[in-house]
Structure 1
Amino acid sequence: MGFLGTYLFDEGRWTVHQPAEQAAIPEPWLLVDIHDSDIATLTYRPAGPGSGVAYLGYTPRTYSENSDASAQTDVVREAAGLSVWWAGQRGGASDTERSAKEAN
């Protein structure tokens, strides 16, 4: 068994959060839920051009070999959503900085 942990980033700081529980606070926030060291679900608000959910490592559908375990992931869309979220936390990063984050 690997590492398990759920953390909420809000107002510039990280706090421990309850697993599988959405943040009930005003936006913006980022919730990182790490499952067994192989899957990290990033839930972010506001979602911007993304869906508001991205994965690091495996997606649940790949990890469990079950297409019903999660929706299909549009990596380009989520990279755009996360880069817009990141830019908002920085007080408005330049388009060049945001594009660089989106590409990585």
Structure 2
Amino acid sequence: MGLFATFVFAGGSWDGSADQTPRFAAKVHDSDFVTIDYAPALAGGTGHCYVGFEPRHYFEDETASDPVDTDAEARGLAAWAADVRGTVIDPDVVRGLLASPEGDEAPDVFVEAALVRLLLALGLPLPEDLEDWAEV
């Protein structure tokens, strides 16, 4: 059985609330995909994207999620990291860690490993439950 977990980073820790701003929230769905929500949404991003697969591709159902403008979200997350964490990251690096808008196979076998790579790239500490994934 895969991991089902929600991690919210706000107020400088993973004990944050989804109502706080700024925040970064990651919801892992059965180790298959991760829903990312971040605020404030910057640089044209909506504040919502995925790691692994977009639900519409994972479930093979176009109504399962709206398409994501991955380029805009990569710019948004890079701007968020710079503004909130002081981390400078190329949006192209972020884009490579997000779910493919075409539904291509995810680069990591385990979505937890991909999430850890994204968190570290954004300059976020790892939640305790994901620390072991840093070595994968």
TM range, smaller chain: 0.7 to 0.9
Runs of 4+ in 1 over 4 A off after TM superposition: none
Greater share of strand: 1
The alignment partner of 1:68 has SS state of: helix
Aligned-residue offset at 1:24: 2.0
Q: Is the 8 A contact 2:10 2:16 kept in 1?
A: no
In the alignment, the residues of structure 2 paired with residue 89 and residue 16 of structure 1 have an alpha-carbon distance, to the nearest angstrom, of 14
Q: 1:45 to 1:74 in 2, by over 3 A?
A: same
Total equivalences in the alignment: 92
Residue 19 of structure 2: aligned partner: 24
Q: Please point out which of 60, 76, 93 is paired with 1:65.
A: 60
Q: 1:16 to 1:24 in 2, by over 3 A?
A: closer
Greater share of helix: 2
Q: Return 5+ residue gaps in structure 2 as ranges.
A: 94-136
The alignment partner of 2:77 has SS state of: helix
Residue 103 of structure 1: aligned partner: 92
Aligned-residue offset at 1:65: 0.5
Aligned-pair RMSD on alpha carbons? 1.6
In the alignment, the residues of structure 2 paired with residue 16 and residue 57 of structure 1 have an alpha-carbon distance, to the nearest angstrom, of 24
